[in-house]
Chain A
Amino acid sequence: MPLQWIIVFLPWAGALALAAIPELRRATAANAAVSAATFALAIALAAMPFAEHGWTRTDALNTPFVLVSAFVGLTTAVFSAATLDQEGFDHWRIRAYHAAYQVFMGAQTLALLADNLGVMWVAIEIATLATVSMVAVHRTPAAFEAAWKFFILCGVGIALALFGTIVLYLAAQPLLNEEAGLSWAALMGVAARCDPATLNLAFAFLLLGYGTKCGLVPLHSWLPDAHAEGPVPISAVLSGLLLNAAMLAVLRAKSIVGANPEAIAPGPFLLALGLASVLLAAVSLWRRRDARRFFGWSSIEHMGLAAFAFGLGGAAANLAGLLHLLGHALVKSAVFFGVGRAAQAKGSQKIADIGGLVATHPALGWGLALAIAGIAGMPPFLLFVSEFRLLGAAAAELPWLALPLAAGMVVALAALVTVLQALCFGPPTPDAATARDGWREAAAAAPLWLHLALAAILALAMPAPLAAMLAQAARVIG
């Protein structure tokens, strides 16, 4: 079996095993072990030459994302092992939660690696089902509402994406041989000769469908609710991983349509959705009182920035967009680790109830402060590099659109700084939970610092093979 398939089936086999482990300690340890093995496989996969195997492929575009998603999967599993005792799960929920986590990780990797667009669609659907069940796991009315909204809106979204996939095949059918089917590589090969009008129709549905999963305005309304409910680690993987897989699906569709000179240019659509997301999120950030919803809205802003970058197109802007997606995955999951742990310690996830973390929990407080600064685009983290490059590319190509984009970024930055001060430096609020042993606190804070370190290293000294890979990927998207 090729490595590309093992990295998908290993988490799924792990899910079967985890469904049988009822004790918290053993289940969390086994979950982390499966994630560690997946991460080792991801490194091995990245070291191998690019190849296609059946319905999967590795290329410059998906390999960095597979690496980052396996890394975030591992650190989230470690964080989850350190904090899951706070969620108050009975043994059924421990089984269901860990099984769903690994089902999600396998589906996420398959969605990234899929060459066949039908397989990619199925993978994103499985990932959605797994995350819906994790969002609803607390069974409170608020969790049900969030899960229901997530399910119905994303259900419509992925239904539209399937319609788009069918129309895409219809466009390419006369030019393809039987077994090439829905292969992205085969579709890229014939895209220039396809009927442009049919391609346009397909792109509209694919953009609407997968755009819903990316949380682009006006298709975003499930996202903040889903991030605010469910166990804390779920917010980290929702924001860090699932949104990237959906954006990669949009990029695959965009590259096919973009390869046909007579089809409609996909860029302006992404520009419009991206700019709308940035502006609405920047304003909405000011009105949030729930910390996890606040950072959910911040994910909408960042997906908007990435969509704007890909809408600009060209190697420079695409590279900025890819860096932004990777940086956002690392830094946003770090933020959710910090906010989630703080909410557990303070017994509430309202911004007003969390304050003065630096004074009461120094390791957590400083880590969260740096992570929020990173998500706001401050140096020395990767998002500073990507936002700087994005603004540069926008100012060079579309100066009139760079102006509202920069305004949105500044408004969002101010909101983030306000919340940063409230959460980390304000007057300390009382702790709700009793003190815990030191190694657990350390294990909960370690993933946060690890993500920050990696985001800084990638910004300051990106390894040359990774930089070359990303530059090549930026040309693939077109």
Chain B
Amino acid sequence: MSFGQIGYDVAHLLGGGVLLMSFVLLYQRRIGAVINAFAMQGALLALAAAWAAHAQGAPGLYVTALLAMAAKGVLIPLALHAIVRRLDLHRTVETALGIGLSMVAGVALVALSILVVLPATEGVRAVARENLALALSVVLLGMLMMISRRNAISQVIGLLSLENGLILAAIGVAGMPLVVELSTAALVLMVAVVAAVFAFQIRERFDTLDTGSLEEHRGERR
């Protein structure tokens, strides 16, 4: 597959859409908007997986697509909205890095991943290596979001979007074994992280989910 063929173009369009949503995640300030952007990213990822299933003739990937759509497009965002409502965080405005700075940092990370991946994978088919560059960008932007946000829910969304990047990488490698199993296992990990947020706040131990205040509880300051 190369440029100008429909399979290649649609795969890139969807991969690029996932990356675009990573940028939206970076600059959104209201927590509700961040969750909606994440749901959108999950839905695009599901479409990308479904397209990969069609283009590669790998029906197993439809399972990945369905799971991604159900969990990341619908259920996890609903759960996160519920946490936000219960903790009364929905009016919170987060000042992360600042829109301009985070956009510049994001573009720099995308450039970095292209510079790293493209020369390192010259022996690999074009569609797979460019998909890998997109996926690594999503991973790095997820890490950037985890670093630049202080709210625990935003950090979790950073981790979830990082994992979206992993799935994007896995579905781009045609013929990779266990891809359905691995993506499901990764999803279980992410669901567990969201469940941990639930479990930790149900007991109302923390007045705030700001991870900065967690530092107070470190063992040696008791």
Q: B-contacting residues of A (Cβ < 8 Å)?
A: 116, 118-119, 121-122, 125, 128-129, 132, 136, 139-142, 144-149, 151-152, 155-156, 158-160, 162-163, 165-167, 169-171, 173-174, 178-179, 181-182, 195, 197-198, 200-201, 225, 228-229, 288-290, 292-293
Contacts and interface: CB of A to CB of B under 8 A. Distances in A.
> Main SS of the interface on chain B?
helix
A166 B139 CA distance: 13
B166 A152 contact: no
A332 B189 CA distance: 29
20 contacts: A116-B178, A129-B192, A136-B196, A139-B203, A140-B205, A140-B217, A142-B219, A147-B196, A151-B193, A152-B159, A155-B193, A159-B159, A159-B163, A160-B139, A163-B169, A165-B182, A166-B170, A166-B176, A167-B169, A170-B124
B10 interface: no
B173 A155 contact: no
A166 B173 contact: yes
Contacts of B196: 132, 136, 147-148, 151
B76 to A, nearest CB: 14
Contact of B205 (A141, A159, A169): A141
A145 B120 contact: no
Contacts of B189: 125, 128-129, 155, 158
B185 A293 contact: no
B218 interface: yes
Given A148-B200, A201-B117, A290 B186 contact: no
A136 B156 CA distance: 18
Contacts of A195: 121-124
A148 B185 contact: no
B117 A145 contact: no
A163 B121 contact: no
A195 to B, nearest CB: 4
Contacts of A151: 192-193, 196
A118 B177 contact: yes
Given A118-B178, A293-B219, A198 B121 contact: yes
Interface residues of B, number: 53
A341 B189 CA distance: 33
B122 A142 contact: no
Given A163-B136, A170-B121, A195-B124, A144 B178 contact: no
A165 B179 CA distance: 11
B206 A141 contact: yes
Nearest to B200: A144
